[in-house]
Amino acid sequence: MEPPLLRFSVLGSVRVWRDGAEVDPGPPLRRTLLALLLARDGSPVPLADIVRGLWAGRPPARAVNMIHRHIGELRRLLEPGLPARASGSRLVRGGGGYRLTVPAGSVDLLRFRELLMRAREIRGEGQAESAVAVFTEALRLWHGPAGGCPGEAPAHPVFTELDLEYAAAVRETADTALGSGTADRVLPTLTDTAHRYPLDEGLQARLMLALASAGRRAEAREVYRSTVARLAGELGVPPGPELNSAQERVTSETASPVTHFTQLPVAPPAFTGRELELAWLRALIDGGCSAQGTDRPAHSPVIAALGGTAGVGKTALAVHMAHEVADRFPDARLYVDLRGFGPAGPPLPPEEALREFLNALGVPAPRIPTGLDARSALYRSLLTGRRVLLLLDNARDAAQVRPLLPACAGCLVLVTSRNRLTALATADGAHPLTLDVLGPAEARAALAVRLGADRMAAEPAVVDEIVGLTARLPMALSAVAAQAASRPDLPLAALAARLRDGHGTLGAFRDPEATVDVQAVLSWSYDALGPDAARLFRLLASHPGPEVTVHAAAGIAGLSVPRTRAVLAELTGAHLLTERLPGRYAWHGLVHAYATELFRSGGGEGDRVPAAVTSAAHFVHSPLPTLLAPTFEERAQ
């Protein structure tokens, strides 16, 4: 007997269809349980998470037994004829809870996300109007709050996140429609969503602009008035720059439909620390001068190049800074992921990035010229006399960035890269800012934002140990905080023990539900290395100390000292090593752990024996002052 054809809806009321006929999923708690399982897309949902999702902080004494009963009923709903105590093949135990596997394309949530990705691809090809149609098709899948059902079941954070995902999609759809002159096509959805989120200034601002572009300026002004009153009455705050900017456009006698995007990613919600770096950036932007006080030419933009190792928080800092100063660049705030490092294929060619920017600035696809030089010239002419913020994220090298730079003052360019963009500083006046790991106090503050002060205060010594075991790398701290936040009943001491057991490896920082982890982002830097640099990086795992000299590295790699200097420069340029003192190189603890994993996995199988020999033999060839010099850790102490 063939299994039934199933279809599910969680974008609104929880509904189930079996062989084309709708069936009743059961009472509210069972519907919420089904929606929670479907929202995790085949990943296990821990039992404790289910309990919190169904009863918040007040579960009944028989909560676990009730869950098991609901699981049994859902199994028989999904697989009719299943014996009473059989587990079946779709809803099975896993990860300390339950996991639901359903056919591809059977859940409206996954279809929604697929359509969003397709719309972005179409928009990137310069077809903004077609992209609006696909965005709208995706939004039509929603029929109310995610997982919504009547009864006693409380709202679960997973469903809250899905609702926020929907609101973000509406904002993105509105931006695309406003940029292509088709705002009237999204007005009904935008109006409905703005009513659902009356305090979301981004939605209200887009509604105002869409109404104005449709000639309904009186209604747009009323949206502003009512939103300002609501912000004052419910939150006690004045309107922000985004809402005020929309009001200025609406009330201007020469107001016209918007011809550009505000493309910045959402600001990091848990951003903390980096006060010195933020102060440096603010001074650079305010004064238009470098940290050394050298005046820029009057015609050039401000360019800040943020560098550092993988996972150190370059993008988070750049996005945070961009949102802080966004109101100073009202003409456009443009963003592009240049894909310099990552799994999505080769780096984005600058001519493709220019096509995206030109489309965002209102140039119809047929008018976008072919060729890098022609596109760059048109792009720079459009930016002349305008105040524009550009965030060029994840750049591979200066050659990829240079065609995207404006040629006029009044613009701000924030570039992030794992490579040192030395040529950009030398030839284009960029101001480099290299990020290190967080300080101890900043690392603790980053954990406190996610875990809460009470939980931190309950185990202060354990918190300090966790901070040390993560080596204060922001991405590692985020991974640990996510694990702890998902298990509020788990003592931090237990989490610290897990990290301690895995010390020297990256296993404790892997999350099967995360799209990327520490190992993945480090691998993207490693994959970009040349053969000699990749080999030396692997072999450095055999070196016993926290630092390595040029002569020691030459002995490990079996290379000449001049060639070794060039290879070390490549590793330093990729921020996999740091030259603490001339000729002495150190590595971040988790970077060394990754090199060790590569070494042990056989990535440099043929090098193990000579590396072990030459690692000791370097003492014969190293100058005596070099051998006697203190290590970086000793100098710090």
Instruction: Give residue 524's pLDDT band: very low, low, confident or very high (50, 70, 90).
Output: low
- The CATH number covering residue 405 comes to 3.40.50.300
Cβ(231)–Cβ(239) below 8 Å: yes
pLDDT at 473 over 90: no
Q: What is the pLDDT of residue 316?
A: 92
Cβ(516)–Cβ(341) below 8 Å: no
Q: What is the pLDDT of residue 508?
A: 57
Residue 454 CB partners (closer than 8 Å, separation 6+): none
pLDDT tens for 102-115 read 877 788 888 999 99
- Asked if 131 and 235 sit in the same domain, the reply is yes
Q: What is the pLDDT of residue 148?
A: 66
- How far apart CA 206 and CA 119 sit, in angstroms, is 19
pLDDT at 208 over 90: yes
Structural domain includes residue 260: no
Measured CA to CA in angstroms, residue 605 lies from 376, 441, 525, 539 at distances of 47, 41, 21, 10
Q: What is the pLDDT of residue 136?
A: 93
Cβ(321)–Cβ(412) below 8 Å: no
Measured CA to CA in angstroms, residue 160 lies from 13, 91, 195, 210 at distances of 14, 24, 17, 26
CA end-to-end span of the chain: 72
Lateral strand order in the sheet of 584-586: 547-549, 584-586, 578-581
- How far apart CA 111 and CA 138 sit, in angstroms, is 8
Structural domain includes residue 259: no
Highest-confidence segment of 147-161, 401-415, 539-553:
401-415
Residue that is last in its domain, among 480, 515, 550? 515
- Asked if 284 and 137 sit in the same domain, the reply is no
- Asked if 294 and 428 sit in the same domain, the reply is yes
* The two structure tokens encoding residue 586: 């150190």
DSSP state of 185: G
- How far apart CA 516 and CA 534 sit, in angstroms, is 22
Residue 185 CB partners (closer than 8 Å, separation 6+): 132, 133, 136, 177
Which residues pair with residue 8 across a beta bridge? 16, 107
- How far apart CA 210 and CA 208 sit, in angstroms, is 6
- The CATH number covering residue 185 comes to 1.25.40.10
Instruction: Give residue 558's pLDDT band: very low, low, confident or very high (50, 70, 90).
Output: confident
With tokens 């919600």, the residue in question is 269
Cβ(39)–Cβ(29) below 8 Å: no
Residue that is last in its domain, among 515, 538, 569? 515
Distance from chain centroid for Cα 505: 23
130-142 average pLDDT score: 92
- How far apart CA 96 and CA 531 sit, in angstroms, is 43
* The two structure tokens encoding residue 421: 């963009």
pLDDT at 277 over 90: yes
Which letter, b or e, does each residue of 360-391 get, where b requires 16 or more Cβ atoms within 10 Å of its Cβ? Answer: bbbbeeeebbeeeeebbebbbebbeebbbbbb
The amino acid that residue 39 corresponds to is A
Residue that is last in its domain, among 412, 434, 456? 434
Q: What is the pLDDT of residue 613?
A: 43
- The CATH number covering residue 71 comes to 1.10.10.10
pLDDT at 249 over 90: no
pLDDT tens for 278-289 read 999 999 998 763
What domain count does the chain have? Answer: 5
- Asked if 399 and 471 sit in the same domain, the reply is no
53-72 average pLDDT score: 86
- How far apart CA 560 and CA 564 sit, in angstroms, is 6
pLDDT at 298 over 60: no
Structural domain includes residue 356: yes
Structural domain includes residue 262: no
Which range among 282-291, 318-327, 434-443, 505-514 shows the weakest confidence by mean pLDDT? 505-514
239-266 average pLDDT score: 70
Q: What is the pLDDT of residue 552?
A: 85
pLDDT at 514 over 80: no
Measured in degrees and rounded to the nearest 5, phi and psi for residue 98 equal: -140, 150
Cβ(522)–Cβ(479) below 8 Å: no
Q: What is the pLDDT of residue 257?
A: 36
* Domain interval for residue 534: 529-636
153-162 average pLDDT score: 66
Mean pLDDT across the chain: 81
Q: What is the pLDDT of residue 351?
A: 94
- Asked if 285 and 423 sit in the same domain, the reply is yes
Percent of the chain residues past pLDDT 70, beyond the cut: 85
Instruction: Give residue 535's pLDDT band: very low, low, confident or very high (50, 70, 90).
Output: confident
- How far apart CA 141 and CA 333 sit, in angstroms, is 30
Measured in degrees and rounded to the nearest 5, phi and psi for residue 114 equal: -65, -40
Structural domain includes residue 265: no
- How far apart CA 588 and CA 546 sit, in angstroms, is 9
Cβ(343)–Cβ(524) below 8 Å: yes
Cβ(508)–Cβ(502) below 8 Å: yes
